[in-house]
Amino acid sequence: MAEHWNSALSHLECGRCGTHYDADKPQNLCECGTPLLARYDLDQISISTSDIAARRPDLWRYRELLPVRDRRHVVSLGEGMTPILPLRSYGARIGVPDLLVKDEGALPTGSFKARGAAVGVSRALELGIDRITMPTNGNAGAAWATYAARAGLESLIVMPQDAPKITRMECALAGARLYIVDGLIGDAGKLAAQAVADGWFNTSTLKEPYRIEGKKTMGLEIAEQLGWRMPDVIVYPTGGGVGLIGIRKALDELLTLGWITGKLPRLVAVQSSGVAPIVRAFEQGTDTAEPWENAETVAFGINVPSAIGDFLILSAIRDTGGTAVAVDDAELLAAQAECASTEGVLMCPEGAATLVAVTRLRSSGWLDGSEEVVVLNTGSDLKYPHTATYDDPPLLAKDGELPL
């Protein structure tokens, strides 16, 4: 008999038209073309925050709020419970003394994509899916291929040729069928659609409902790690927006459970000025975002010209009184270097973009300096060695002498 893991999952619900779907069958989008969201019987949950505290420090500690029903289907590499670190000197310099980073760099596969992959692959295994496919800018493909290998599933990954090389190698070493395309993520998507037509299960961003459930654990952890309360502001480097939507969903669920109280944090979406469809839509006051032409940025994880969850991102920002900010590559690389030298935290380019946004929001007065601000560093910079530049070349030791 299946051993129950006490998931409170009840059904799937369309994020736009509200149609319900059976969660215990493989599902992709709603018939109206919109992402499906997992819903839970929150009033059936009888555990408390102290039960959570007694569990292992990984994301499965929130199993009641996750979709996997049987623990034997959990595919884990020890993901979750990443540290929240104060950035005291950086924060003091920019006038935001309560600046904190949730540092996702130490997760398996080096990015927070591991959260979505752990939960998505586990649930795919549980539903009897044996072949998964996706287009990716690199980190998602690396994470899903790695977790698929651990689960014994086949994976087919399509990646733009400019995606970070290490993510290619991760997919290849994990045994994925890997295809490289001379183009952007949208071009990779068109090729992955051929694999879907051939029977591979589509695990593209928000085209299956469980990646977001994995990513929402960032929001659960932020609340728990702050002592079951919310910060004033959360700043997130936004590509497909799954993390931002997930954090909002997590906090809404915790509010319904009564585990936290109060107002949602103001949610801030940060994009690169080379590809900023959400920022443009936010500024123009529209509910959806037009695709961005000629997208370009070093922050590969947020190079997403068109997001299927655009309306969910925009409503998360607007409903919470948040905002959207675009930053230049040169600015984020400078912030990355400064954070490394003053804090010992080497952020990925996407994470460093949030620091530029916080600096700008403080100068404009949007932040008054009294707020507790949590930024997300979504991955390790070790995956982007080409962005780790320095001005002074290393000194060369000659003839066994240190030229001091």
- Give the pair of three-digit tokens for residue 389: 């530049």
Residue 82 CA to residue 241 CA, distance in Å, equals: 20
Q: How far apart are CA 322 and CA 314, in angstroms?
A: 9
Selected range binding ligand PLP among 34-42, 191-199, 232-240, 277-285, rule: CB under 6 A: 232-240
Residue 271 DSSP SS3: strand
Q: Name the segment binding Zn ion (CB under 5 A); options: 28-36, 216-224, 226-234, 349-357.
A: 28-36
Choose the contact partner of 350 out of Zn ion, ligand PLP, none; CB within 5 to 8 A by kind.
Answer: ligand PLP
Residue 242, contacted partner among ligand PLP, Zn ion, none, CB below 5-8 A by kind: ligand PLP
End-to-end CA distance of the chain: 69
Which of the 8 DSSP states describes residue 258?
T
Task: Judge whether 138 and 299 are in contact, CB under 8 Å.
Answer: no
Quote the least distance from Cβ 212 to Zn ion, whole Å: 16
Question: In this structure, which amino acid lies at residue 37?
Answer: L
Q: Is 240 in the site for ligand PLP (CB under 6 A)?
A: yes
Among the candidate windows 17-25, 255-263, 280-288, 318-326, which touches Zn ion by CB under 5 A?
A: 17-25
> What is the rounded distance in angstroms from the CA atom of residue 346 to the CA atom of residue 377?
9
Note whether 219 binds ligand PLP by CB under 6 A.
no
Secondary structure class of 377 (helix, strand, coil) = strand
Using the minimum distance from each CB to ligand PLP, give the nearer residue, 64 or 80: 80
Q: Quick check: 362 binds ligand PLP (CB under 6 A)?
A: no
- Does an H or E element contain 190, and which? helix 185-197
354 near Zn ion (CB under 5 A):
no
Site membership for ligand PLP, residue 302 (CB under 6 A): yes
State the nearest-atom distance from the C-beta of 36 to Zn ion, in Å: 8
Sheet containing strand 323-327, edge to edge, reads: 84-86, 99-103, 373-377, 233-237, 266-272, 323-327
The CA dihedral of 84, 212, 9, 251, to the nearest 10 degrees, is 40
The answer to whether residue 14 forms part of the interface with Zn ion (CB under 5 A) is yes
Question: Is 139 an interacting residue with respect to ligand PLP (CB under 6 A)?
Answer: yes
Q: Does 350 bind ligand PLP (CB under 6 A)?
A: yes
Q: Give SS3 for 98.
A: coil
Q: Which is nearer to Zn ion, 28 or 89 (CB)?
A: 28
Binding window for Zn ion (CB under 5 A); candidates: 34-42, 126-134, 139-147, 188-196 = 34-42
C-alpha 250: how far from chain center: 13
- Contacts to Zn ion by CB under 5 A: 14, 16-17, 19, 30, 32, 34
- Contacts to ligand PLP by CB under 6 A: 111, 113, 139-140, 205, 237-243, 301-302, 348, 350, 378-379
